[in-house]
Amino acid sequence: MSLVTMTIAAEQRGTVPAERTAAKKWTRLARPALGLVLPVTLAVVWEFVVRMGWASGRLAPPPSVIFQEFVDLARSGDLQRNTLVTLGRVAAGFGCGVAVATIVGAAAGYSPVIRRLLDPSLQALRAIPSIAWVPLFVLWLGIFEASKITLIAVGVFFPVYLGVMGAIQSVDRKLVEVGRAFRLSDVQMVRRILLPAVLPAYVIALRSGLGLGWMFVAAAELLGASEGLGYLLLDGQELGKPAEIVAAIVAFAVVGKATDWLIAFAAAPFLRWEDVVRQE
Amino acid sequence: MLVLDRVSKTYPNAVQALGGVSVEVEPGEIVAVIGGSGCGKSTLLRAISGLDPASAGTVLLDGERISAPHQKIGIIFQEPRLLPWLKVAGNVGFGLGDRPKQERAARVATALKRVGLADQAAAWPRELSGGQAQRVAIARALVPRPEVLLLDEPFSALDAFTRTDLQAHLLDLWADAKPTLILVTHDVDEAIVLADRVMVMCPRPGRIFDEIAVDLPRPRDRQSAAFDFVKRRVLAALDRSLSRAVAPADGEAKASAGAALWW
Ligand SMILES: Nc1ncnc2c1ncn2[C@@H]1O[C@H](COP(=O)(O)OP(=O)(O)O)[C@@H](O)[C@H]1O
Ligand SMILES: [Mg+2]
């Protein structure tokens, strides 16, 4: 290959042909649809099996019964009220957990002294299954909101703390040096270099923290609550109403996924530069 | 004028990387620094930039002592070091954070046009080729109009064709405002094509071993006899700088002689 054709090839690398973007758009729509095939098929098959009388569907209600249960719960207002209560608990626990984890994680990532001081203790605490705290929290904080929110906050804390600390430690020092060469002040350094560098890992940490928050709210409510989606689970169990249990599970899944999506959506404009990498 | 006076650098691990470097560089002069790997070229450049100040001696720019990064000094590294979360235009304007938006946009546009990347202003750094990325880095360093531009092996990661292309381009850009250029390189051709003066360094501790003036008219013809003549002189100086480095100091000589006996 001559030098001239080499440079032409190099220049063409920068532009993306139109048909390739169109193809990308198509796969972007088709890919999620593919994921729906399995659950939808299973639901349809189960509905069919129950309708045909091959199974009673009493313990595993078919989709139509679950849907009817949803409608009933929504009509009575139970669904909305309990969802809001659970959402409120997750929000409070997530907020507290993230706030503390971000501050502690940032300090530990930034300063080796603080890291050596705090990290061993935190790692030791992390080894405790968080549910094991429940009796202590109940003794300290009572059986109402405070102990539930604390449990959720503890669950959220660890993934966020680890994510923030790791992200700050792995900021590319060569880029920090660029900031120094351009004489950025400490505040500018944080805003223009550290924050953007840390953001992708932070969003991932927030999302895994939120996932744990939902896990722990379910646990906390199952251990005793008079309202919330977890209460619906308990209620369904005690009254022998599997449709109510499944409806509550579905509500958990939908609201959990929606909050996760909300974080991803809010962060997307700041992470667009990362997409370029993924599409390659 | 840039004046280095007995600049020394000892790293915390007791490695003496620079042992008293004294140089004077005229405004607008292009100086190439060449030498074997580990002879302190990067250390010297970082001391001048103020990123990693000298442990003894002084760096003076127009009489002002440099001990921290300075607005009049720009630096380009071996890697482009673009910020991946800023588009090309944002990277080029990075050093203009304190300027009004309009002025920033205008200067960025001019600089991008000047490095031939006007159509890539909205591209992400990841979408650029190596040569394009290094051009953006050059534009970013030049936009604040430094009086001194330091370059640490800026083209050594590029393929041969892109490298010669960017060498010519750098001279072209230099002609706009004629900043002082200090270029670290391990490529003798590059040093002679660009520089008014080639400084050959030798290691342990890093010192200026020899200085060779390059009195050839620009643009320089790599094939000419005059070019070849200078190149031979630089290569000879490099050769001597390395062989002197191999000859160990007295204590070391005894130690290695002892080792020889043992074996
Ligand atoms: N940060 C550092 N800490 C300790 N020693 C270093 C550091 N940077 C460079 N050195 C040492 O200083 C000497 C000169 O290094 P450097 O300036 O990078 O050489 P060059 O750029 O000429 O290859 C080398 O022996 C190297 O090992
Ligand atoms: Mg070097």
Q: Which residues of A touch B134 (CB under 8 A)?
A: none
**B197-202 and B180-185 beta bridge pairing:** unpaired
For β-strands B56-61 and B2-10, DSSP reports them as antiparallel
The mean pLDDT value for A151-156 works out to 93
Longest CA–CA separation in chain A, Å: 80
Spacing, Cα B15 to ligand 1 middle (Å): 8
Among candidates B51, B71, B84 on the partner chain, residue whose Cβ is nearest the Cβ of A273? B84
pLDDT score, position B84? 93
Print the SS3 string covering chain A: CCHHHHHHHHHHCCCCCHHHHHHHHHHHHHHHHHHHHHHHHHHHHHHHHHHCCCCCCCCCCCHHHHHHHHHHHHHHCHHHHHHHHHHHHHHHHHHHHHHHHHHHHHHHHHCHHHHHHHHHHHHHHHCCCHHHHHHHHHHHHCCCHHHHHHHHHHHHHHHHHHHHHHHHHCCCHHHHHHHHHCCCCHHHHHHHHHHHHHHHHHHHHHHHHHHHHHHHHHHHHHCCCCCCHHHHHHHHHHHCCHHHHHHHHHHHHHHHHHHHHHHHHHHHHHCHHHHHHHHC
Domain boundary assignment for chain A: 1-54, 63-279
Residues lining ligand 1, CB < 6 A?
Answer: B 11, 13, 15, 17, 35, 37-43
Q: Cβ–Cβ of B124/A280 closer than 8 Å?
A: no
Give residue B260's pLDDT. Answer: 34
- pLDDT tens track of chain B, all 263 residues? 999 999 999 999 988 889 889 999 999 999 999 998 889 999 999 999 999 999 999 998 998 999 999 999 999 999 999 999 999 999 999 988 878 889 889 989 998 998 888 898 889 999 898 889 999 999 999 998 899 999 999 999 888 888 888 898 899 888 888 999 999 998 999 999 999 999 999 888 889 989 998 988 888 888 898 889 999 998 988 888 887 544 444 444 434 333 333 33
Q: What is the mean pLDDT of residues A45-57?
A: 88
Q: Is B121 on the interface with A (CB under 8 A)?
A: no
Give the distance from residue B95's alpha carbon to the nearest chain A alpha carbon, in angstroms.
6
Give how far the C-alpha of residue A88 lies from the chain's centroid of Cα atoms, to the nearest Å.
16
Nearest to B71 among A175, A183, A192 (CB): A183
- What CATH number is attached to the domain comprising B249? 3.40.50.300
The answer to whether B156 touches B185, Cβ cutoff 8 Å, is yes
Q: Is B206 on the interface with A (CB under 8 A)?
A: no
Cβ B81–A175 below 8 Å, yes or no? yes
Q: How far is CA B241 from CA B39, B156, B223, B238, in A?
A: 10, 21, 26, 5
* Closest C-alpha among A221, A223, A205 to residue A164: A205
Task: Provide the terminal-to-terminal Cα distance of chain B, rounded to the nearest Å.
Answer: 54
On whether any CB of chain A is under 8 Å from the CB of B251, the answer is no
CB contact under 8 A, B84 and A280: no
Please count the structural domains in chain B.
1
Question: How many CB pairs (< 8 A) connect A and B?
Answer: 62
Contacts of B53 (CB under 8 A, 6+ apart): B47, B59, B66, B67, B68
pLDDT at residue B247, rounded to an integer: 46
pLDDT in tens, A11-41: 444 445 556 667 777 777 777 788 889 989 9
DSSP-derived 3-state class of residue B2: strand
Do B29 and B199 contact (CB within 8 A), yes or no? no
* CB < 8 Å from B in window 4-43 of A: 6-7, 10, 13-14
pTM: 0.79
The pair of structure tokens assigned to A269 is 């404009």
Give residue B216's pLDDT.
87
> Is the CATH number 1.10.357.10 carried by domain A63-279?
no
- Interface residue A177 vs chain B (CB under 8 A): yes
Q: How far is it, in rounded angstroms, from Cα B130 to Cα B126?
A: 10
Q: Which domain holds residue B27?
A: 2-262
**Which residue has a Cα nearest atom 12 of ligand 1?**
B17
CA A280 to chain centre: 26
